[in-house]
């Protein structure tokens, strides 16, 4: 799909194992994720685990991750793509899974529905934030620093935040997302929320 040679500092899976194996590996990992969630979760009522499975399934399917990938693929080469369109891609491609994992934590720990929704929103913001920062870095950094192939977006003629609104506005948008996401966490105990606060900052200030 993206035809990438590098991922996470190593050659991509299909470069090492071949395209046929990589499809099966993806299928097996996806399946194992659900199996693991279903049988390895301890100390949680079955009803909550079932709800968590539903949440995870929704986030990676045609209403989540896959939707983002489809629209992303179909957008290559298009010149009249607006911010809404770009946001759709990132909400689904990146944020959906992040939302799911955050929400899963809340569901499994008997969180109140309003807190679950608050955390869902937090995750959505940092998901988009992740992508905005990624887009900025793709333009400003080298491959070595990024540990993946730099300049790919430009090469692939993909729509990115810097391309649509420029680097400076993208950085402003990133800062707004960071502060809005942290605001959502203010209702929670600051010690308990510390990891999530750190995560938001880590994403905002990442260098690769």
Partner 1 sequence: MVFSTVLTSVPNLYLTRKPKNIHIQIRCLSSPSVSISSQSNLTQFDLKAYWATLYAEITQKLEEAIPVKYPDQIYEAMRYSVLAKGAKRAPPVMCVAAYEIFGDNRLAAFPTACALEMVHAASLIHDDLPCMDDALERRGQPSNHKVFGDDMAILAGDALFPLGFHHIVMHTPPELVPESRLLRVIAEIARTVGSSGMAAGQFLDLKGGNTVDFIQEKKYGAMGECSAVCGGLLAGAKDDEIERLRRYGRAVGVLYEVVNDVLLSKSTEKEGTEGQEKKGKGYVRLYGIEKSMEIMEELRSKAKNELDGFEKYGDCVAPLYSFIDYAINRGFNVSDLSQ
Q: Which residues bind partner 1 (CB under 8 A)?
A: 1, 18-21, 23-24, 26-28, 30-32, 34-35, 38-39, 45-47, 49-51, 53-54, 56-58, 60-62, 66-67, 69-71, 73-74
Nearer to partner 1, 59 or 181 (CB): 59
Least spacing, CB of residue 36 vs partner 1, in Å: 8
Nearer to partner 1, 27 or 145 (CB): 27
Least spacing, CB of residue 3 vs partner 1, in Å: 11
Nearer to partner 1, 39 or 110 (CB): 39
Distance CA(15)–CA(100), nearest Å, equals 30
Nearer to partner 1, 49 or 150 (CB): 49
Task: Please spell the DSSP secondary structure of 37-81, one letter per residue.
Answer: HHHH--SS-HHHHHHHHHHHHHHHSTTTHHHHHHHHHHHTT-S--
CA dihedral (2, 7, 11, 14) positive or negative: negative
Least spacing, CB of residue 111 vs partner 1, in Å: 18
Least spacing, CB of residue 58 vs partner 1, in Å: 5
Least spacing, CB of residue 107 vs partner 1, in Å: 12
Compute CA distances 35 → 27, 29, 63, 88, whole Å.
12, 10, 21, 30
Nearest 5°: the CA angle 107, 193, 40 is 35
Nearer to partner 1, 35 or 183 (CB): 35
Selection from 57, 54, 92, 51 nearest residue 73 by Cα: 92
Q: How many residues does the chain have?
A: 208
């Amino acid at each position: 799909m993206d035809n990438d040679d590098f991922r996470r500092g190593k050659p991509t899976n299909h470069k090492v194992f071949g395209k046929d194996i990589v499809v099966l590996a993806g299928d097996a990992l996806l399946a194992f994720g659900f199996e693991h969630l279903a049988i390895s979760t301890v100390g949680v009522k079955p009803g909550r685990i079932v709800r968590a499975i539903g949440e995870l399934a929704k986030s990676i399917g045609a209403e989540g991750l896959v939707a983002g990938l489809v629209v992303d693929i179909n957008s290559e080469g298009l010149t009249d793509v607006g911010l809404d369109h770009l946001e759709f891609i990132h909400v689904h491609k990146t944020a959906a899974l992040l939302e799911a994992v955050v929400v899963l934590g809340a569901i499994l720990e008997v969180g109140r529905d309003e807190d679950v929704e608050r955390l869902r929103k937090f995750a959505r913001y940092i998901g988009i934030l992740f992508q905005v920062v990624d887009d900025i870095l793709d333009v400003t950094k080298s491959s070595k620093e990024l540990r993946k192939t730099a300049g790919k977006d430009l090469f692939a003629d993909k729509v990115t935040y810097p391309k649509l609104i420029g680097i400076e506005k993208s950085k402003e948008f990133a800062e707004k997302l960071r502060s809005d996401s942290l605001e959502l966490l203010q209702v929670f105990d600051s010690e308990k929320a510390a990891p999530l606060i750190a995560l938001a900052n880590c994403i905002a200030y990442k260098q690769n």
